[in-house]
Structure 1
Amino acid sequence: MFLLPLLVTNLLLVAAEIDTEVQYCDKDAQNCGNEVEVVDDTKLIFYDVNPPEGFNLRRDVYMRFAVMVAEARKKGRKNWELVLPPWYNLYHWKSEKRVPIPWNKFFDIDSLKSFAPVVEMYEVFSRIKNDVLELDTVYVLQNFEDSFEDGNFVEEWGIVGNCEYDEGFWGYKNITAKEVVCVKFQGKISKLKELISLHPHDKKIMFTHGEIPLHDLYGLKSYWDCRKSMKFNKKLEKIAKKYIAEYLDCNSKKCKNYLSVHWRRQDFARSRGNDVPSIAGTVKQLHKNLRRLPEIKKVFIASDASMSEINKLEKDLTELGYEIHFFLPSLAIINEYGDGGIAIIDQIICSRATYFIGTHESTFSYRIQEEREILGFKSDTTFNRLCPDSGICIKPSRWTIVNK
């Protein structure tokens, strides 16, 4: 198919300067590029996600692309590399400055690289001659109007034509694109290789709305191998470990003396009232579960609830004889790691509890359940949920780890 060239001239962004430990490429910085551009046969795959999507859904989208690139390498495409899209301007993050954050702030990059050939954005800038990164083609993925035409889901794609990309490039003003193309797409992520093959000589290809393509190997060994490689930044692990030891009296990765809860409020309480309990309903359910675990008196709660809701929940549970804990980050931790790092610390603490109760269809809870599968907890202690005060309460799906 023939694609008309289109130069995007209105998307020139500069990344705000950040601390020296994490490395960015500001167009005015002296370390933005080498004196001579590195010339090789590498094909860089960039992607982005719909802006309103949260941190934990984005982690899942990463896995889709990482598995695709890892599988492509196994089949001879040794030159493919996946560029990690900086964390930028996430809707749910309130404490962050409007600057792009590299993955090494939250994850162990060496561990990610043990599964797939990934590269940080600042590493990409270090390879180019100029301080402007020019992408060859940006594919703006769009959903088909009717995914189940005639009652069947068919994997397909079709080029709509040249279009504009107005969502920015992760806060950078020094990224441009030669061509932007809108594509209707539905199917597994491996089908993106058909789009990549349209221009075999392109070296820098980007897909927007990376949440649209589906997993190829969801729940299979490659999925879990990728998931196990997503180890957290060691400093975040250390903070969580210290908290668990000091406040929850445990020095093990599999603790036996506290129950953990992910109590999702805010948008879930507003838009999913039929899926989540009231404060009184939450207290009732936790008390019921804890009576079946008489040796457990400590409860750790991860929540986005308002302070008044948290105070009410804590008061009611304390009156029932339980010791309630929340992770309250210091100003230094907030400044260093922001909402993303605090979320990871909460997840680590929840994942090591003897028993976990999550929120229905929350990706935050999903990631904790995956961590617990990797740690080897029994499924009965992991796949549990808070139920609405009345009506049907569907049990959580169980996706257990596959190691072989």
Structure 2
Amino acid sequence: MRTKEALAKILCLFCICLLFIVKSENEINTAYDTGNKDKTTFAEAKAVRYLLYDVNPGEGFNLRRDVYMRVANLVKFLNEDEPWVLVLPPWGRLYHWQRDVEQIKIPWKTFFDLDSLRQHIPVIEFEDYLKVRGEPVIDEVYYLQGFKGGWTHWEEKLNITECLDSRSGGFRQDDDGRWRHWFFGYEEVYAKKFACLSYMGHAGFIKPFLMHNTTGRSVYIPQAEEMLHDRYGHKGYWEARRSMVFAKHLRDIGDEFRAKHLTSTDQEDNTVLEDWTKMRRKHGEAKGGPYIAIHLRRRDYLWARKDELPSLKGAAKHVKKLLKKYDLLKVYVATDAPKEEYEEFKSYFKKAEIYRYEPTEEVFNKYKDGGIAIIDQWIAAHARYFTGSHVSTFSFRIQEEREILGFDPEMTFNRMCGDKDQDCEQPTKWTIIYD
């Protein structure tokens, strides 16, 4: 009798293990599904490889989001032949993040919905990559740079060459032959191999090099901004962009502010966010909240682009015309202006209500400068009418968000002119493409 009971237990345990194996394989297949149709072909299994990247330290938050799209579509391209996972570079130490608090090792989940990113390509946080590897190691580093002497005509080419930067981008070899670097603030991380790669080309151009000239399980590409979009503004670009859904906790804060101060809700404004893979909005479908939103860039732009920006008084004059034109009384201001400049801007209005998002200490400590910037963009993206600052990536990202939500391009692609040029050229209308 005991023998039969023991046998039954063994069979039960075997069934459980079998179910676990099947479930695990299904989860792995789902994790690495890049959206391609099942072609029902079988080949020798290939080990998963990891692509890491970074951007020039001087580049800001919103340009980095643009570089993500380039690298994401490269990973999508790589996955057509072998499994690659994109390792998301932790955020920190950006020029515009000037609050007196350390902001490093910030994971992407603080700012973005990782499940949405994974509906486009397989991604993993850097900390999770270190856990998977079991040691703080990156196998190969290829530091992207231009070609010596510059170039006279553009052509796609790459070549491992001498490092043009005498400091080799801050990479140094220790006494044990390991390559050391800042590595996002993780001092224990090291690389086994380092080389400088002179590069001129689109992101997809590096695919053959990664597949046939690298052998490490992980490859790291600093200065990934050297790689251009394969097809800027086309279907692949917008798929990557649409997948970059803001984290729900940040959207919730922005939505609460809209409802409380701007009489704006998704139901009333027709801006309900859906699964990005199924969401296809027509231009003009989104109404937006009853307010004007502006991006009033100040600080470094005051000297870098002073003739292309309005004065505070000039910006107020322009906004008053918009309020009258659209019969509105509320204005939302996304700005990097110090408090005294913002107060001066407000002083030029007698009837209109002027709003700006000011985070509590608790919110800032949780979500840092990057999170506050996203809340700003989310609120601005839901306005009835938006006008931005000239060639600002902050304004670009808001315009893209409004395209995804389905606003009329005429209510989105606008900029404020300098005081001396009231008929300045307006932004190019980079409208959304689905097919």
Measured against the shorter chain, the TM-score band is 0.7 to 0.9
- Asked whether the 8 Å contact 1:352–1:372 carries over to 2, the reply is yes
Q: How far does residue 395 in structure 1 lie from its aligned partner after superposition?
A: 1.3
1:23-34 equivalences under 5 Å are none
Which residue pairs with 1:291 in the alignment?
A: 324
Q: Is 1:351–2:381 an aligned residue pair?
A: yes
Match of 1:20 in 2: none
Given the alignment of the two structures, is residue 378 of structure 1 paired with residue 381 of structure 2, yes or no? Answer: no
CA deviation string 1:254-302 (max 9, x = no partner): 42411100000001112111211111111111112222112x1000000
Aligned to 1:313: 345
Partner of 1:88: 92
CA contact (8 A) 2:103 2:368 kept: no
Corresponding residue for 1:302? 334
Question: In the aligned structure 2, how far is the partner of 1:244 from the partner of 1:111?
Answer: 24
Equivalences for residues 37-186 of structure 1 within 5 A: 41-73=47-79, 75-77=80-82, 79-95=83-99, 96-130=101-135, 133-144=136-147, 148-149=151-152, 152-161=153-162, 164-166=168-170, 168-186=182-200
Give distance in 2, aligned partners of 1:380 and 1:87.
34
Query: Structure 1 residue 159: deviation in Å?
Result: 1.6
For 2:194, the aligned partner's letter is V
Matched residue, 1:369 = 399
Q: Which deviates further from its counterpart, 105-114 or 118-127?
A: 118-127
Q: How many angstroms does 1:205 deviate by? A: 0.4
Report the Cα offset of residue 308 of structure 1: 1.3
- Provide runs of 4+ in structure 1 moved above 4 Å: 145-148
- Partners of 2:265 and 2:289 within 8 A in 1: no
- 1:143 counterpart letter in structure 2: G
Q: Is residue 260–residue 356 contact of structure 1 (8 Å, CA) maintained in 2? A: yes
Residues 331-350 of structure 1: matches in 2 within 5 Å?
331-350=361-380
Give the alignment of 1:122-271 within 5 angstroms.
Answer: 122-130=127-135, 133-144=136-147, 148-149=151-152, 152-161=153-162, 164-166=168-170, 168-252=182-266, 253=271, 254-271=287-304
Deviation at 1:144, TM superposition (A): 2.9
Q: Deviations over 1:22-49 (max 9, x none)?
A: xxxxxxxxxxxxxxxxxx8111000000
Distance across 1 between alignment mates of 2:104 and 2:407: 37
* Greater C-alpha radius of gyration: 2
Whole-angstrom distance in 2 between the partners of 1:161 and 1:147: 14
Q: Please tell me whether the aligned partners of residues 112 and 118 of structure 1 are also in contact (alpha carbons under 8 angstroms).
A: yes
The answer to whether the 8 Å contact 2:158/2:199 transfers is yes
Unaligned runs of 5+ in 1: 1-39
Between the aligned partners of 2:317 and 2:259, the Cα distance in structure 1 is 28
**Per-residue deviation at 1:148?**
4.8
State the shift of 1:147 in Å: 5.5
Amino acid at match of 1:274: D
Aligned equivalents of 1:169, 1:181: Cα separation in 2 = 16
Structure in which a larger fraction of residues adopt helix: 2
Equivalent residue letter for 1:154: E
CA distance in 2, matches of 1:143, 1:351: 36
CA distance in structure 2 between the partners assigned to 1:282 and 1:144 by the alignment: 43
Code of the residue aligned with 1:170 in structure 2: it is F
TM-score (norm 2): 0.79
Q: CA deviation at 1:216?
A: 0.5
Q: TM-score, normalised by structure 1?
A: 0.85
Q: 1:60 to 1:173 in 2, by over 3 A?
A: same
Contact 1:139 1:182 in 2 (8 A): yes
Identity %: 40
Q: What CA deviation, in whole Å up to 9, does each residue of 1:178-206 have, x standing for no partner?
A: 11111211110111223313534211101
Is contact 1:165-1:180 (8 Å) kept? no
Give the CA RMSD over aligned residues: 1.7
Structure 2 unaligned runs (5+)?
Answer: 1-45, 171-180, 272-286
Give the partner amino acid of 1:402: I
